[in-house]
Amino acid sequence: MTASAILIQFLNGLASASSLFFVAAGLSLIFGVTRIVNFAHGSLYMLGTYMGCSLVEYFGRTPLGFWGGVLIAGLAAALIGAMIEATLLRRLYQAPELLQLLATFALVLVIKDFALWAWGPEDVLGPRAPGLDGAVTIAGRAFPEYDLLLIALGPVVLGLLWLLLTRTRWGSLVRAATEDREMAGALGVNQGWLFTGVFALGSLLAGFGGAVNIPREPATLMMDLSIISDVFVVVVVGGMGSIPGAFLAALLISEIKAFCIGIGEVHAYGIDISFSKLTLVVEFIVMAIVLVIRPWGLLGRAASVARGPGTLEDPLRSPSRHLLALGVAVLGVLVLMPVLGDAYTLVLLGDILVFALFSVSLHFIIGPAGMHSFGHAAYFGLGAYGAALALKHLVPMEAALFAGPFVAALGAVVFGWFCVRLSGVYLAMLTLAFAQITWSVVFQWDSFTGGSNGVVDVWPAAWLGSKTAYYYLTLVLATAGILLLWRMLYAPFGYALRAVRDSPLRADAIGIDARRFQWAGFSLAGLFAGLAGALYAFSKGSISPEVVAIPRSVDGLVMVLLGGIQTLTGPVAGAAVFTWLQDTIARNTDFWRATLGVIILILVLAFPQGATGMLRRRFAREQS
Amino acid sequence: MLSVRGLNAAYGRAHILFDIALRASKGEVVVLLGRNGAGKSTTLKSIIGLLRPLSGEILMRERSVSRLKPYQIARLGLGYVPEERRIFTDLTVMENLEVGRQARREDAPYWTPTRLFELFPNLGRMQDRLGGRMSGGEQQMLTIARTLMGNPAAILLDEPSEGLAPVIVEQMALTIRALKQEGLTVLVSEQNLRFAHAVADRAYIIEKGHIRYSGTMSDLESNGAVREQYLSV
Ligand SMILES: Nc1ncnc2c1ncn2[C@@H]1O[C@H](COP(=O)(O)OP(=O)(O)OP(=O)(O)O)[C@@H](O)[C@H]1O
Ligand SMILES: [Mg+2]
pLDDT digits (tens, 9 = 90+) for B75-127: 999 999 999 999 999 999 999 999 999 999 988 999 999 999 999 999 999 99
- Band (A304; pLDDT cuts 50, 70, 90): very low
What percent of chain A is predicted at pLDDT more than 90? 46
**pLDDT above 90: residue A499:** no
Ligand 1 atom with the shortest distance to the CA of B43: 18
- Whether the CB-CB separation of A346 and A336 falls below 8 Å is answered with no
pLDDT tens digits, residue range B146-165? 999 999 999 999 999 998 99
The residue with greater pLDDT, A466 or A278, is: A466
**pLDDT above 50: residue A150:** yes
Ligand 1 atom with the shortest distance to the CA of B40: 21
Distance (Å) from CA A527 to ligand 2 centroid: 48
Secondary structure of A332-373 in HEC code, one letter for each residue:
HHHHHHHHHCCHHHHHHHHHHHHHHHHHHHHHHHHCCCCCCC
- Whether the CB-CB separation of A428 and A291 falls below 8 Å is answered with no
- Band (A510; pLDDT cuts 50, 70, 90): confident
Distance (Å) from CA B45 to ligand 1 centroid: 11
- Whether the CB-CB separation of A237 and A249 falls below 8 Å is answered with yes
Within an 8 Å CB–CB cutoff, is residue B100 touching chain A? yes
Predicted confidence at residue A306, as pLDDT, reads: 42
**pLDDT above 50: residue A308:** no
Query: How far A172 CA sits from the closest chain B CA (Å)?
Result: 6
First-last CA distance in chain A = 76
A44 CB contacts (<8 Å, ≥6 apart)? Answer: A77, A80, A81, A111, A203, A206, A207, A210
Pocket flag, ligand 1, residue A310 (CB < 6 Å): yes
Alpha carbons A426 and A241: distance in angstroms, whole number: 12
Chain A residues with a Cβ under 8 Å from any Cβ in chain B: 169, 172-173, 175-176, 178-180, 182-191, 308-312
Mutate one of A187, A299, A566, A621 to test the B interface: name it (highest B CB count within 10 A).
A187
Within an 8 Å CB–CB cutoff, is residue B105 touching chain A? no
Query: How far B221 CA sits from the closest chain A CA (Å)?
Result: 34
pLDDT tens digits, residue range B33-91? 999 999 999 999 999 999 999 999 999 998 999 999 999 999 999 999 999 999 999 99
Alpha carbons B227 and A576: distance in angstroms, whole number: 63
Cβ burial A246-255 (10 Å sphere, 16+ → b, else e): bbbbbbbbbb
Alpha carbons A63 and A146: distance in angstroms, whole number: 12
Which of B8, B31, B33, B40 for mutating ligand 1's site (highest number of atoms within 8 Å of CB)?
B40
**pLDDT above 60: residue A612:** no
* Amino acid of residue B4: V
The residue with greater pLDDT, A110 or A302, is: A110
Predicted confidence at residue A604, as pLDDT, reads: 83
Predicted confidence at residue A618, as pLDDT, reads: 57
- Band (A250; pLDDT cuts 50, 70, 90): very high
Predicted confidence at residue A588, as pLDDT, reads: 81
pLDDT tens digits, residue range B163-216? 899 999 999 999 999 999 999 999 999 999 999 999 999 999 999 999 999 999
Distance (Å) from CA B103 to ligand 1 centroid: 33
Pocket flag, ligand 1, residue B36 (CB < 6 Å): yes
Distance (Å) from CA B13 to ligand 1 centroid: 14
Chain A environment of B147 (Cβ under 8 Å):
187
pLDDT tens digits, residue range A194-205? 999 999 999 999
Mean pLDDT value across residues A436-443:
87
What percent of chain B is predicted at pLDDT more than 90? 86
Predicted confidence at residue B232, as pLDDT, reads: 72
Within an 8 Å CB–CB cutoff, is residue B74 touching chain A? yes
Predicted confidence at residue A617, as pLDDT, reads: 60
Secondary structure of A450-486 in HEC code, one letter for each residue:
CHHHCECCCCCCHHHCCHHHHHHHHHHHHHHHHHHHH
A584 CB contacts (<8 Å, ≥6 apart)? Answer: none
Give the single-character DSSP code of B24.
Answer: E
Chain A environment of B69 (Cβ under 8 Å):
185
Helix H or strand E encompassing B16: strand B14-24
Domains by residue range for chain B, with CATH: 2-230 (3.40.50.300)
Mean pLDDT value across residues A462-470:
87
pTM of the model: 0.86
Task: Provide the angle, in degrees to the nearest 10, between the axes of the packed helices A377-393 and A424-444.
Answer: 30
Predicted confidence at residue A310, as pLDDT, reads: 38
Pocket flag, ligand 1, residue A308 (CB < 6 Å): no
Within an 8 Å CB–CB cutoff, is residue B90 touching chain A? yes
Chain B environment of A191 (Cβ under 8 Å):
71
Chain A environment of B50 (Cβ under 8 Å):
182, 186, 308
Chain B environment of A184 (Cβ under 8 Å):
99
**Cα–Cα distance list, A311 to A97, A307, A314, A565 (Å):** 11, 10, 9, 14
Predicted confidence at residue A17, as pLDDT, reads: 95
Ligand approaching nearest to the C-alpha of B38 = 1
Strand B154-158 vs strand B78-81: parallel, antiparallel, or unpaired? parallel
Predicted confidence at residue A277, as pLDDT, reads: 74
Pocket flag, ligand 1, residue B37 (CB < 6 Å): yes
Mutate one of A169, A172, A617 to test the B interface: name it (highest B CB count within 10 A).
A172
Q: Which residue of B has its CA nearest to A180?
A: B88
The residue with greater pLDDT, A271 or A211, is: A211
Contact between chains at A180 and B86 (C-beta distance less than 8 A): yes
Q: How high is the mean pLDDT of chain A? A: 87
Q: How far is CA B165 from the centre of its chain?
A: 19
- Band (A236; pLDDT cuts 50, 70, 90): confident
Contact between chains at B98 and A169 (C-beta distance less than 8 A): yes
Within an 8 Å CB–CB cutoff, is residue B58 touching chain A? no
Contact between chains at B99 and A180 (C-beta distance less than 8 A): no
Which of B7, B11, B47, B205 for mutating ligand 1's site (highest number of atoms within 8 Å of CB)?
B11
Domains by residue range for chain A, with CATH: 3-232+241-255 (no CATH), 321-623 (1.10.3470)
- Band (A48; pLDDT cuts 50, 70, 90): very high
Predicted confidence at residue A201, as pLDDT, reads: 97
Predicted confidence at residue A482, as pLDDT, reads: 94
Helix H or strand E encompassing A559: helix A550-563
**pLDDT above 70: residue A619:** no
Chain B environment of A182 (Cβ under 8 Å):
50, 70
